[in-house]
Amino acid sequence: MAFCEFTSTAEQLYDKWIKLFENADPRTKDWLFMPSPVLQTAIILFYIFFVTSLGPRIMENRKPFNLKPVLVIYNFGVVALSLYMCYEFVMSGWGTGYSFGCDLLDPSQSPQAMRMASTCWLYYFSKFIEMLDTIFFVLRKKQNQVSFLHVFHHSIMPFTWWFGVRFSPGGLGTFHAPLNCVVHVIMYTYYGLSALGPSFQKFLWWKKHLTSIQLIQFVIVTGHISQYYFMKECPYPYPIFIYLITLYGVVFLLLFLNFWYHAYTKGKRLPKVLQNATMLQNNNDIHHKKE
């Protein structure tokens, strides 16, 4: 009896899964990774396993790799890719017709609609490239930088964006992508300069502002997508994406605020001189409280 009930439930879930994909965007169904989320899920799970368990064990008794040339090429390569994607997002909608309000998906085969869909796929694929951030941390034995926030961010983005590209590659649900590309241009420029060595340290005084830029990004994303809840009419076909983007914006805003507090308010990510000054100030505060 229990087995029959389980079989019936499994069949119902399978039918719902099949019906779900009947409404998917037919333009993207045969693109790389798009036929099914299984392959990308396997890659993401292996990524999590490698950077949290397998990689550190492999590197435990090894010297850290010297990846300076690789890091320079990689970081400035991501800068170039982010600039290109930003340009494509602007030219395919966000600078040529979108109202920044109730912008709907154009499901046609028009050149501009296909350009937007292709750019969405490229943005999705870039999230797998950016997983190398963490791989490089592990190979350089910088495991302290492999935080929950870092791994969660690099895991959830490609997973959720698969559904975005498969069902709605365009419209208001993509606003955070070009904004994120702008942020990545700034971030990876910093990482690229940092990888060039000590002679470029004088150009890296703005490290603390990277987190500020990310916080501003999530505030803008949350503010933009929240318009949907106040619109009298916006026939966006997949409200679930609106809810997920809202949740994403709020959750990452809170996570980055927590990072800001521990990294800069407590001084854990400040330069050594400022760390010492922060520790001295904290000790003085504790001393005064005891008095």
The one catalytic residue among 150, 153, 176, 287: 153
Taken as a whole, the chain contains a residue count of: 291
**Token pair of 207 as six digits:** 């490290």
Residue 153 known to be catalytic: yes
The whole-angstrom separation of Cα 62 and Cα 6 is 49
Cα gap 33→40, rounded to integer Å: 7
* Residue type for position 118: S
Who contacts 162 (Cβ-Cβ below 8 Å, separation ≥6)?
33, 34, 37, 40, 124
108 vs 111: CA distance, rounded Å = 9
Q: Is the dihedral of CA 175, 120, 250, 252 positive or negative?
A: negative
The CA radius of gyration of the chain, in Å to the nearest whole number, is 22
By annotation, the residues acting in catalysis are 153
